[in-house]
Chains A and B, each alone.
Chain A
């Protein structure tokens, strides 16, 4: 691997010449596309010797020791391979994987391009209620899918309550290995520990559950993308994570009661398990891992290992997030007073 991923047409050509030597690939276009906060992405078109054309999305690791949000490309590859065709929503079809970075300079997934609109475009065209139906139904389908769709080697938490307790401990330990302290997470963790919600069966958790990751075709099932934080966990982590996501329009904030009623109807969850309070509770837990990565990104600079401006820029996100934690902790404390 090199320091910089080379998501260019020449690299893809070399890669396909190696991966599909008998099909006569010719890369006809490749352009960078937005890959969110954490990955480098590109859209490419390839013409095969038989005259057919296909488009692919390339998704590569950023240069080492840069960026804020880290995930494991090998695990994402295993997860996508395992999920494909097993859920009632579509998941990306991985065609090839440069697992060593030999061709692209970084580990790179090559997946089929899917012609569809991101769900936020549906909001603009068809309104919030329709988009909310699509989003809630997509989440519900993921959360009601059998766990054996996940890779066999993926860690299975022992039980729902123990899993939640472990997440609270994770939250409490977020600043243990960094050089700054964050009292907000300790107060939130203490209140979460004191006010545990009723357990729910563990499910597939997407980990970055937001409308931008739902692609809606003109017909047929939607495609859920960006599974890099996918895991087995409490389904309310996805609900909580999205509930406070500050990307307008937030489909949850538009009508929390309607959003959750539809989710309960689709999943069979009870109102005791899924309500505005439990969603807030799991907002804190659903953000814990990302917040830990934001702490680590800022701490790297404090230790003389800068990871780029995103890490310091995201200190604003840390402040906004922990302020939200305080509000939720305060409500939990007040509910018991």
Chain B
């Protein structure tokens, strides 16, 4: 396949084209708003495309470690004991995006169950570790937002 320019570079170039070549020619207010939204989404996806597989891989490993820690303290939580094996059974070696996303979603469901179990247990250390993982996820989501700010009204 042709690898350079990268997907990120191509998407950002399309963004430039939209904003400098298309948007100035528009007069319909609805179309203008839509183009601005499309450009925002494309900048979001440019960031994602550059890093998402690595980000998800790294987070899956951290999440699974956390979930095992919670399961050791709260061994009888049925949602966690169901979600952990399901996460472990996800395709782990494939780098195809659909496979990585499937593994990430399953890990995310286990993470959700682990967070609930941690709060129910009252274990402050588990809660703080869970918050740290959520902070990391939020930081990545902020990076993907690519400077987005609320508009629309």
Contact = CB atoms under 8 A, between A and B. Distances in A.
Interface string B126-153: 0100110011011001101100111011
B115 A322 contact: no
Contacts of A152: none
Contacts of A330: 131
Contacts of B115: 183, 186-187, 190
Nearest to B34: A309
Contact of A183 (B34, B134, B145, B150): B134
A51 interface: no
Contacts of B111: 181, 183
A183 B131 contact: no
Nearest to B124: A337
A329 B152 CA distance: 28
B141 A319 contact: yes
B112 A182 contact: yes
Contacts, number: 94
Residue with the greatest number of chain A CB neighbours at <10 A, chosen from B111, B120, B152: B152
A326 B134 CA distance: 8
A323 B120 contact: no
Contact of A320 (B34, B44, B127, B145): B145
Contacts of A326: 131, 134-135, 138
Contacts of A258: none
B119 interface: yes
Contact of B138 (A36, A37, A312, A322): A322
B37 interface: yes
A315 B142 CA distance: 11
B134 A333 contact: no
Nearest to A195: B119
Interface string A309-330: 1101101110110110010011
7 contacts: A172-B116, A182-B108, A183-B134, A184-B138, A313-B37, A319-B144, A326-B134
Interface of B: 34, 37-38, 40-41, 44, 105, 108-109, 111-113, 115-116, 118-120, 124, 127, 130-131, 134-135, 137-138, 141-142, 144-145, 148-150, 152-153
Given A37-B152, A309-B41, A333-B131, 7 more contacts: A179-B105, A183-B134, A186-B115, A190-B115, A309-B34, A319-B145, A320-B150
